[in-house]
Protein backbone atom coordinates (compact mmCIF):
# COMPACT_ATOMS: atom_id res chain seq x y z
CA UNK A 1 0.00 0.00 0.00
CA UNK A 2 1.45 3.32 -0.99
CA UNK A 3 0.86 6.45 1.01
CA UNK A 4 0.06 9.58 -0.92
CA UNK A 5 2.32 12.42 0.02
CA UNK A 6 0.43 15.33 1.51
CA UNK A 7 1.13 18.65 -0.11
CA UNK A 8 3.64 20.65 1.85
CA UNK A 9 2.14 23.05 4.36
CA UNK A 10 3.24 26.55 3.41
CA UNK A 11 5.16 28.50 6.01
CA UNK A 12 3.60 31.59 7.52
CA UNK A 13 5.12 34.72 6.03
CA UNK A 14 4.52 37.72 8.33
CA UNK A 15 5.98 40.16 5.80
CA UNK A 16 3.58 38.95 3.11
CA UNK A 17 0.70 39.15 5.58
CA UNK A 18 1.54 42.78 6.37
CA UNK A 19 1.84 43.63 2.70
CA UNK A 20 -1.48 41.95 1.87
CA UNK A 21 -3.28 43.74 4.73
CA UNK A 22 -1.77 47.08 3.69
CA UNK A 23 -2.81 46.41 0.11
CA UNK A 24 -6.37 45.61 1.17
CA UNK A 25 -6.46 48.88 3.13
CA UNK A 26 -5.25 50.78 0.07
CA UNK A 27 -7.91 49.04 -2.06
CA UNK A 28 -10.60 49.97 0.47
CA UNK A 29 -9.48 53.61 0.50
CA UNK A 30 -9.44 53.79 -3.27
CA UNK A 31 -12.84 52.13 -3.59
CA UNK A 32 -14.23 54.51 -0.96
CA UNK A 33 -13.01 57.48 -3.04
CA UNK A 34 -14.57 55.99 -6.18
CA UNK A 35 -17.85 55.41 -4.35
CA UNK A 36 -17.82 58.97 -3.01
CA UNK A 37 -17.33 60.33 -6.54
CA UNK A 38 -20.12 58.14 -7.94
CA UNK A 39 -22.55 59.10 -5.17
CA UNK A 40 -21.73 62.80 -5.60
CA UNK A 41 -22.16 62.39 -9.35
CA UNK A 42 -25.62 60.90 -8.79
CA UNK A 43 -26.59 63.91 -6.67
CA UNK A 44 -25.27 66.26 -9.38
CA UNK A 45 -27.13 64.41 -12.14
CA UNK A 46 -30.39 64.61 -10.19
CA UNK A 47 -29.80 68.33 -9.59
CA UNK A 48 -28.90 68.78 -13.28
CA UNK A 49 -25.66 70.45 -12.17
CA UNK A 50 -23.50 69.92 -15.24
CA UNK A 51 -20.35 71.42 -13.72
CA UNK A 52 -20.58 69.14 -10.68
CA UNK A 53 -21.17 66.10 -12.91
CA UNK A 54 -18.04 66.93 -14.89
CA UNK A 55 -16.01 67.47 -11.69
CA UNK A 56 -17.09 64.08 -10.34
CA UNK A 57 -16.29 62.35 -13.63
CA UNK A 58 -12.81 63.90 -13.43
CA UNK A 59 -12.41 62.73 -9.80
CA UNK A 60 -13.53 59.24 -10.79
CA UNK A 61 -11.08 59.13 -13.71
CA UNK A 62 -8.22 60.36 -11.55
CA UNK A 63 -8.89 57.63 -8.99
CA UNK A 64 -9.06 54.99 -11.72
CA UNK A 65 -5.62 56.12 -12.90
CA UNK A 66 -4.26 55.81 -9.34
CA UNK A 67 -5.73 52.32 -9.13
CA UNK A 68 -3.39 51.15 -11.88
CA UNK A 69 -0.58 51.23 -9.30
CA UNK A 70 -2.72 49.19 -6.90
CA UNK A 71 -3.28 46.58 -9.59
CA UNK A 72 0.48 46.34 -10.14
CA UNK A 73 0.94 45.85 -6.39
CA UNK A 74 -1.77 43.19 -6.40
CA UNK A 75 -0.05 41.33 -9.23
CA UNK A 76 3.26 41.37 -7.32
CA UNK A 77 1.58 40.08 -4.14
CA UNK A 78 -0.09 37.26 -6.05
CA UNK A 79 3.24 36.36 -7.69
CA UNK A 80 4.93 36.22 -4.27
CA UNK A 81 2.13 34.08 -2.84
CA UNK A 82 2.11 31.86 -5.94
CA UNK A 83 5.83 31.22 -5.54
CA UNK A 84 5.38 30.27 -1.88
CA UNK A 85 2.40 28.05 -2.69
CA UNK A 86 3.84 26.53 -5.86
CA UNK A 87 0.95 27.69 -8.05
CA UNK A 88 0.50 30.24 -10.81
CA UNK A 89 -0.28 33.77 -9.55
CA UNK A 90 -3.67 33.74 -11.28
CA UNK A 91 -4.62 30.56 -9.41
CA UNK A 92 -4.00 31.99 -5.93
CA UNK A 93 -7.23 32.19 -3.92
CA UNK A 94 -7.90 34.20 -0.79
CA UNK A 95 -8.00 30.96 1.22
CA UNK A 96 -4.59 29.95 -0.11
CA UNK A 97 -3.22 33.41 0.52
CA UNK A 98 -4.48 33.50 4.09
CA UNK A 99 -2.89 30.06 4.70
CA UNK A 100 0.40 31.96 4.55
CA UNK A 101 -0.73 34.23 7.42
CA UNK A 102 -1.06 33.90 11.16
CA UNK A 103 -4.71 33.27 12.14
CA UNK A 104 -5.44 36.82 13.35
CA UNK A 105 -4.03 38.30 10.12
CA UNK A 106 -5.95 35.75 8.05
CA UNK A 107 -9.19 36.66 9.82
CA UNK A 108 -8.55 40.36 9.23
CA UNK A 109 -7.75 39.72 5.55
CA UNK A 110 -11.03 37.82 5.11
CA UNK A 111 -12.96 40.64 6.80
CA UNK A 112 -11.32 43.35 4.68
CA UNK A 113 -11.85 41.31 1.53
CA UNK A 114 -15.55 40.91 2.34
CA UNK A 115 -15.83 44.65 3.03
CA UNK A 116 -14.12 45.40 -0.29
CA UNK A 117 -16.45 43.06 -2.20
CA UNK A 118 -19.48 44.74 -0.60
CA UNK A 119 -18.20 48.21 -1.41
CA UNK A 120 -17.45 47.19 -5.01
CA UNK A 121 -20.99 45.80 -5.36
CA UNK A 122 -22.42 49.11 -4.10
CA UNK A 123 -20.13 51.03 -6.45
CA UNK A 124 -21.33 48.91 -9.38
CA UNK A 125 -25.00 49.48 -8.49
CA UNK A 126 -24.61 53.25 -8.08
CA UNK A 127 -22.58 53.56 -11.28
CA UNK A 128 -25.28 51.66 -13.21
CA UNK A 129 -27.93 53.94 -11.70
CA UNK A 130 -25.95 57.03 -12.76
CA UNK A 131 -25.62 55.66 -16.28
CA UNK A 132 -29.38 55.15 -16.45
CA UNK A 133 -30.00 58.67 -15.15
CA UNK A 134 -27.59 60.12 -17.72
CA UNK A 135 -29.30 58.19 -20.54
CA UNK A 136 -32.64 59.56 -19.33
CA UNK A 137 -31.31 63.14 -19.20
CA UNK A 138 -29.73 62.83 -22.64
CA UNK A 139 -32.94 61.39 -24.08
CA UNK A 140 -34.85 64.34 -22.68
CA UNK A 141 -32.30 66.75 -24.16
CA UNK A 142 -32.62 64.98 -27.51
CA UNK A 143 -36.41 65.35 -27.24
CA UNK A 144 -36.07 69.09 -26.56
CA UNK A 145 -33.72 69.55 -29.51
CA UNK A 146 -36.22 67.79 -31.76
CA UNK A 147 -38.93 70.20 -30.58
CA UNK A 148 -36.71 73.12 -31.55
CA UNK A 149 -36.12 71.72 -35.04
CA UNK A 150 -38.13 68.67 -36.04
CA UNK A 151 -36.12 68.14 -39.23
CA UNK A 152 -37.36 64.66 -39.75
CA UNK A 153 -36.89 61.10 -38.66
CA UNK A 154 -33.38 60.07 -37.81
CA UNK A 155 -32.14 63.66 -37.62
CA UNK A 156 -30.73 64.69 -34.28
CA UNK A 157 -32.12 68.19 -34.61
CA UNK A 158 -30.39 71.46 -35.29
CA UNK A 159 -27.13 70.63 -33.54
CA UNK A 160 -24.33 68.38 -34.67
CA UNK A 161 -22.12 66.16 -32.54
CA UNK A 162 -19.65 69.06 -32.43
CA UNK A 163 -22.35 71.36 -31.09
CA UNK A 164 -22.37 73.66 -34.13
CA UNK A 165 -25.60 74.58 -35.87
CA UNK A 166 -25.38 73.76 -39.60
CA UNK A 167 -25.70 76.81 -41.85
CA UNK A 168 -28.76 75.43 -43.68
CA UNK A 169 -30.93 75.29 -40.55
CA UNK A 170 -32.60 78.63 -39.87
CA UNK A 171 -32.96 79.70 -36.28
CA UNK A 172 -36.29 81.51 -36.08
CA UNK A 173 -38.42 83.05 -33.39
CA UNK A 174 -40.85 80.17 -33.91
CA UNK A 175 -38.14 77.67 -33.00
CA UNK A 176 -37.29 79.69 -29.89
CA UNK A 177 -40.91 79.89 -28.78
CA UNK A 178 -41.13 76.08 -28.75
CA UNK A 179 -39.28 76.20 -25.42
CA UNK A 180 -41.07 79.27 -24.04
CA UNK A 181 -42.71 77.94 -20.89
CA UNK A 182 -44.60 81.13 -20.00
CA UNK A 183 -48.37 81.04 -20.47
* Residue 41 maps to a domain: yes
pLDDT at residue number 3 = 53
Structurally, the chain folds into a number of domains equal to 1
* Residue 28 maps to a domain: yes
The CATH number that applies at residue 38 is: 1.20.58
- pLDDT tens for the chain, residues 1 to 183: 455 554 555 677 789 999 999 999 999 999 999 999 999 999 999 998 999 999 999 999 999 999 999 999 999 999 999 999 999 999 999 999 999 999 999 999 999 999 999 999 999 999 999 999 888 888 877 777 777 776 654 554 445 555 555 555 554 544 444 444 444
pLDDT at residue number 177 = 43
Structural domain boundaries enclosing 88: 14-135
**DSSP states of 32-62 as a string?**
HHHHHHHHHHHHHHHTT-HHHHHHHHHHHHH
* Residue 70 maps to a domain: yes
Dihedral of alpha carbons 145, 149, 153, 156, sign: negative
* Residue 6 maps to a domain: no
Distance of alpha carbon 53 from alpha carbon 88, whole angstroms: 42
- Do 63 and 34 form a contact (C-beta atoms < 8 A)? yes
* Residue 119 maps to a domain: yes
Distance of alpha carbon 136 from alpha carbon 142, whole angstroms: 10
* Residue 158 maps to a domain: no
pLDDT at residue number 164 = 52
pLDDT at residue number 107 = 97
pLDDT at residue number 14 = 80
pLDDT at residue number 183 = 43
Residue among 56, 60, 42 at smallest CA distance from 137:
42
- Do 11 and 100 form a contact (C-beta atoms < 8 A)? yes
* Residue 155 maps to a domain: no
Residue among 19, 61, 8, 69 at smallest CA distance from 37:
61
SS3 170: coil
pLDDT at residue number 180 = 44
* Residue 167 maps to a domain: no
Dihedral of alpha carbons 175, 178, 181, 183, sign: positive
Predicted TM-score of the model (pTM): 0.70
Distance of alpha carbon 148 from alpha carbon 172, whole angstroms: 10
- Do 103 and 39 form a contact (C-beta atoms < 8 A)? no
Amino acid sequence: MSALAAPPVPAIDPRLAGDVLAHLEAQLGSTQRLLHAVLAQGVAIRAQDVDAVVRQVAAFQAELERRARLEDDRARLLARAGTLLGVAPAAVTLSQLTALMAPPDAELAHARSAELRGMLAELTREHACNQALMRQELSFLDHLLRLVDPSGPGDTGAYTAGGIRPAHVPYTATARSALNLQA
